[in-house]
């Protein structure tokens, strides 16, 4: 069956399917020289036949049908896992932004008199555009009232970017992070272009420490930041020590690596071993990987 609803449970289920097929140990070059259209004919035939019908075939035909089915399904499941990864990372980001935006909207609606204050200020300003502020604005909204509005806004509305990142991190660490160790074990990411090697290095770094309990990466590690961490997230990923040195927050870095990986995979700058739609044959240059 194809993957179900986008989510953690579906991701774990698809990885279990792929592990089961890989236990058969089918070679990567099992059907050299055969067109995919030919293999699809065998694959579709095997997928609709009842087990009793398959058992009734001569051994050579039976094993060929089953081998083609498993061979093709491994590629399809790998593609499905990549699709799920792309959609889940996007989902984490979009949900966080929508939640923060909704909080801003709710905050504005909750204090109804702010609309009235804004209206009175706008009306007085338009009616007397050349008059000083203290003669036009303060009679309809006192200086003390406006200062209180500013203080309330600063107290209740932190920076939008920081709120989004906080929600993204919580969603990732408390739920979706469960998929990352297994996903990095079962999928192998590669690139044909030296420009995208920082993302590949970052993926391997995350894989090396994904089961660690450390809050920060060790100082001796070379951690790719450029081309991996978006500029708007750098302040949350690279934290400054008391002595002026920097260290990299591991969980925050993982979120950024998944975002970078998503973008590179979507445009085929990074490909996945064993996939079909995301396969390396799309890139004829020399293969490079870590």
Structure confidence at residue 224 as a pLDDT band (50, 70, 90): very high
Q: What is the pLDDT of residue 289?
A: 43
Q: Is the pLDDT of residue 288 over 50?
A: no
Structure confidence at residue 286 as a pLDDT band (50, 70, 90): very low
Q: What is the pLDDT of residue 155?
A: 46
Structure confidence at residue 121 as a pLDDT band (50, 70, 90): confident
Q: What is the pLDDT of residue 21?
A: 95
Which residue reads 């990411």 in tokens?
189
In a 13 Å sphere around the CA of 136, the CA atoms on its Cβ side amount to 13
Cβ-contact 18, 186 below 8 angstroms: yes
Q: What is the pLDDT of residue 128?
A: 86
Q: Which residues of 272-285 are buried (b: 16+ CB within 10 A; e: fewer)?
A: bebbeebbbeebee
Q: What is the pLDDT of residue 115?
A: 77
Task: Kindly state the average pLDDT of the residues 228-255.
Answer: 87
Q: What is the pLDDT of residue 164?
A: 76
Q: What is the pLDDT of residue 253?
A: 94
Q: Is the pLDDT of residue 112 over 70?
A: no
- Say which residues have a Cβ less than 8 Å from residue 214's Cβ, sequence separation at least 6: 250
Q: Is the pLDDT of residue 104 over 70?
A: no
Collapsing DSSP to helix, strand or coil, 288 comes out as: strand
For 148-152, 167-171, 182-186, 227-231, which range has the lowest pLDDT when averaged over its residues? 148-152
Domain spans, the chain: 111-156, 188-290
Q: What share of the chain is helix, strand, coil (3-state, %, to 5)?
A: 65, 5, 30
- Say which residues have a Cβ less than 8 Å from residue 200's Cβ, sequence separation at least 6: 189, 190, 191, 270, 289, 290
**Percent of the chain's residues with pLDDT above 90:** 49
pLDDT in tens, 12-50: 999 999 999 999 999 988 998 899 999 999 999 999 999
Q: CA 219 to CA 214: how far, in whole Å?
A: 12
More confident position, 119 or 16: 16
Kind plus residue range of the DSSP H or E element containing 29: none
């Amino acid at each position: 069956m194809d993957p179900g609803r986008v989510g953690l449970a579906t991701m774990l289920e698809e990885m279990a399917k792929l592990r089961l097929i890989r236990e058969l140990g089918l070679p990567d070059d099992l059907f050299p020289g055969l067109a995919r259209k030919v293999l699809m004919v065998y694959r579709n035939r095997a997928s609709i036949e009842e087990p009793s019908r398959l058992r009734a075939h001569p051994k050579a035909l039976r094993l060929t049908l089953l081998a083609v089915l498993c061979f093709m399904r491994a590629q399809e499941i790998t593609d499905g896992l990549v699709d799920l990864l792309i959609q889940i990372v996007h989902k984490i980001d979009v949900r966080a932004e929508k939640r923060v935006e909704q909080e801003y909207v709710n905050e504005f609606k909750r204090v109804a008199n702010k609309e009235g204050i804004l209206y009175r200020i706008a009306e007085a300003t338009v009616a007397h555009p050349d008059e000083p502020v203290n003669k036009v604005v303060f009679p309809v909204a006192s200086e003390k009232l406006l200062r209180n509005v500013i203080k309330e806004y600063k107290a209740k509305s932190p920076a939008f970017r920081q709120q989004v990142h906080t929600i993204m991190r919580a969603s990732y660490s408390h739920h979706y992070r469960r998929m990352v160790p297994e996903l990095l074990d079962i999928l192998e990411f590669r690139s044909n272009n030296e420009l995208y090697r920082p993302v590949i290095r970052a993926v391997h770094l995350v894989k090396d420490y994904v089961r660690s309990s450390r809050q920060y990466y060790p100082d001796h590690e070379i951690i790719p930041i450029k081309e991996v961490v978006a500029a708007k997230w750098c302040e949350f990923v690279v934290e400054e020590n008391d002595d002026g040195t920097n260290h990299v927050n591991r969980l925050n870095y993982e979120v950024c690596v998944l975002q970078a990986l998503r973008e590179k995979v979507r445009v085929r700058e990074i490909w996945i071993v064993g996939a079909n739609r995301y396969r390396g044959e799309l890139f004829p240059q020399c293969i490079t990987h870590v």
